[in-house]
Structure 1
Amino acid sequence: MPDHHATASCSCGQLRIEVRGAPRGVGLCHCLACQRRTGSVFAALASFNAPYQVSGQATEYLRSGDQGAQFLFRFCPVCGTTVYHTEVGDDSRVSVAVGAFADPTFPAPTVSVYDSRRHPWVQLPPGTRAYHTDP
């Protein structure tokens, strides 16, 4: 299988991340922190294995999850777009905002976490596995 590269970027293009290969997984998060972070009713994220290449400057925001894990979110200091995040202490993968790829053919999510906080009018794609909180 040929090595596939994909690039995600912020709205102004200043902050970019290039990932390789197919996503490890694509999911939705309905937690209240992600709702506030994105300004939407959920976050759509794709996880990729390292290595990945970042270009541009990022502002960082450290957030603790419900189970104590810490996540470092990177967003563009110019336009404010959240582009990617990593878990502190885990350099083996990166999670990238699906919308930052600007690719309508991007694979659909297969999991939904914090489904207990999903807005009732949001419909999940068929076959999506839903978790009440974070598994």
Structure 2
Amino acid sequence: MSAYLGGCLCGQIRFRIAAEPAAVRLCWCRDCQRLAANGTANALFPTAAIEITGTPAAHVRAADSGNQVTRRFCPACGSQLFSDSSGRPGSTVVRLGVLDEPSALRPTAQIWTASAPTWACLDPALEAHPKAAPAPAAPATPAQPPAARA
């Protein structure tokens, strides 16, 4: 098993993940497009495997799926870091771009492709889902979002 390290642009938030992801995907939902001005590359990890140093800010909103999504980001530089959904208790989405080695994980699917703009570069080699993909296997032990350490 690998450990994945990462953090925000300014370094105020750092994290370590001691698990392999359940899924690695490109997301074209409208929320991700608004966050990134493009699609986002994300990995789904067991929440309990993520250790965070620093205190992310949070924004809660209902997603197109109907689930409540809590997006966590650095309050200083605004880097988007994590998302937790009421539809996936015990799992946390981590943005690949905030990993120290973003190439360590490669997307295997693209989701919400029906929402992608006409200019989007959709990879025909990846599994594609017009909306959400089927849920990956649940992590071994569901947990609350990890507590931040100051």
Q: 5 Å matches for 1:70-81? A: 70-81=68-79
RMSD: 1.8
TM-score, normalising length: structure 1: 0.86
8 Å Cα contact 2:56-2:74 kept in structure 1: yes
Match of 2:90 among 79, 92, 96: 92
* Aligned residue pair count: 132
For structure 2, the 5+ residue unaligned runs are 134-150
Q: Distance in 1 between matches of 2:59 and 2:70?
A: 6
User: What is the TM-score of this pair, normalised by structure 2?
Assistant: 0.78
Q: Do the aligned residues in 1 keep the contact of 2:5 with 2:100 (CA within 8 Å)? A: no
Off by >3 Å, runs of 4+ in structure 1:
88-91
Counterpart position of 2:28? 30
Higher mean C-alpha deviation, range 99-108 or range 117-126: 117-126
Which structure's residues are more often strand, by fraction? Answer: 1
The percent of aligned pairs where both chains have the same amino acid is 29
Task: Say if 2:29 and 2:111, in contact at 8 Å, map to a contact too.
Answer: yes
Give the structure 2 partner of residue 14 of structure 1. Answer: 12
Letter in 1 for 2:42: L
Instruction: Give the gaps of 5 or more residues in structure 1.
Output: none
